A and B are shown apart, each in its own frame.
Chain A
Amino acid sequence: IKIIVIGKWRLGVGKSCLLLQFTDKRFQPVHDLTIGVEFGARMITIDGKQIKLQIWDTAGQESFRSITRSYYRGAAGALLVYDITRRDTFNHLTTWLEDARQHSNSNMVIMLIGNKSDLESRREVKKEEGEAFAREHGLIFMETSAKTASNVEEAFINTAKEIYEKIQEGVFDINNEANGIKIGPQHAATNATLAGSQGGQQAGGGCC
């Protein structure tokens, strides 16, 4: 399953930190600027099935925007990340969402992530606002903290679950690789890739 993480890096919403926390269970406060895209992968188990999430952590900086667009293709899920301590990252969500919807599969599962929930004292965007935005656009919403690891696992795994359910329902055609889902070598093991990027506003899709 391929999942991509999108969002604006310049605002440093923490896409790369989320990915690092999920794949390596580490937190690194200072990150190099993401150039184009970085990758991460992790195996998870849903419903007794092994799923490999392939996560694409995209660059959020504006100059990489058109490059990032080519990564949407073939993503089954996206994490749209904003920073709860910075109102401007939240305000940009709509543009990123449009971008994602326009350049990807229409069935792509999109999850809205409000990152840096550990910085409660500097919060600028209320949880309710995030919830309202997610409701309005039909997204799943979660607040996470890449620093304390709270909800990071859940965010990725819930996205994967959502995708998995869609596969069960037959919404995703697993034989079509353009959906970002690939069946593993053994029938039992489903191979999923989840790509995520942290920073701006959106995150990935998954395929199994």
Chain B
Amino acid sequence: MDGHKEFYDQYAQSQEKSVVNKMQQKYWKTKQTLIKVTGKKEDEHVVASDADLDAKLELFHSIQRTCMELLKAIELYQKRICFLSQEENELGKFLRSQGSQDKTRAGKMMQATGKALCFSSQQRLALRTPLSRLYQEVETFRYRAISDTWLTVNRMEQYRTEYRGALLWMKDVSQELDPDLFKQMEKFRKVQAQVRHAKLNFDKLKTDVCQKVDLLGASRCNLLSHVLTTYQTTKLVCTCLCYI
């Protein structure tokens, strides 16, 4: 049985380059693409067999989305910090100038408060350094790691379409299969080699995608915990000083 299989596989491989075969391959691939694009219902068992992969893709998209959101939030936060610091500074200046004109005890207190406000506005600006560092790191992460994974995902999707197309093809030739008819068997072996080939490619990319997404998630955690430590320290210093 195995001898036959090898013979047929070799035979099928030599056939692979023929024009007719290319055309048929294209036909089934296009058909699968069409099914996907038009959102027609796909074979539930085929979809179910990719459940783990789809879960990883979901995770990937969430990483992609949340990184984007994080960047936007940092930007907004930076802006607000600037505004707040500016306002604080101005209020401080105002209190100081008013306080210097007032010779009573209240004037002294106003001056002291104004001084403290000016100081705190300075400290607040110090938060910007770790924040812009965070921004840069996340941005780089997005450009490098995420886009690299995205490329792999795209390649995988192409192979997936090819594989599912080949499965459709196989299903089609399986309808009237009789192993005693050489002509039919020949065709079946050809498609079988095609499916095996497509499956090999797809499975490899599938593993790649799963591993990359796992790695992506882990490295983001690592990155965040690293960069956020500086932010936290600065924030603490700032808060403490303000209370003093």
Contact = CB atoms under 8 A, between A and B. Distances in A.
Contacts of A38: 1, 5
A83 B202 CA distance: 28
Main SS at interface, chain B: helix
A54 interface: yes
Contacts of A35: 170, 192, 195-196, 199
Contacts of A33: 199
Contacts of B79: none
Interface stretch (A57-65, A119-127, A150-158): A57-65
B49 interface: yes
B49 A67 contact: no
Interface string A63-86: 111110011000000000000000
Interface stretch (B149-157, B171-179, B221-229): B171-179
B45 interface: yes
Interface string B167-191: 1001100110101100000001001
A71 B174 contact: yes
A62 B1 contact: no
Given A54-B179, A63-B167, A37 B174 contact: yes
Given A36-B195, A63-B167, A70 B1 contact: no
B234 to A, nearest CB: 52
A197 B196 CA distance: 18
Interface string A7-22: 0000000000001100
Contact of B179 (A23, A39, A62): A39
B46 interface: yes
Contact of B175 (A39, A54, A62, A70): A70
B45 A70 contact: no
A146 to B, nearest CB: 14
A66 B45 contact: yes
B19 interface: no
20 contacts: A19-B1, A24-B1, A35-B192, A36-B195, A37-B177, A38-B5, A39-B1, A61-B49, A62-B49, A63-B50, A63-B167, A64-B45, A65-B45, A66-B46, A67-B167, A67-B171, A70-B171, A70-B177, A71-B177, A193-B179
Interface of B: 1, 5, 43, 45-46, 48-50, 167, 170-171, 174-175, 177, 179-180, 188, 191-192, 195-196, 199
A-B pairs with lowest CB-CB distance, top 7 = A65-B45, A62-B49, A63-B49, A39-B179, A70-B174, A67-B171, A63-B46
Given A39-B179, A70-B171, 16 more contacts: A19-B1, A23-B1, A24-B1, A35-B192, A35-B195, A36-B170, A37-B174, A37-B177, A39-B1, A41-B179, A62-B49, A63-B49, A65-B45, A66-B43, A70-B174, A71-B174
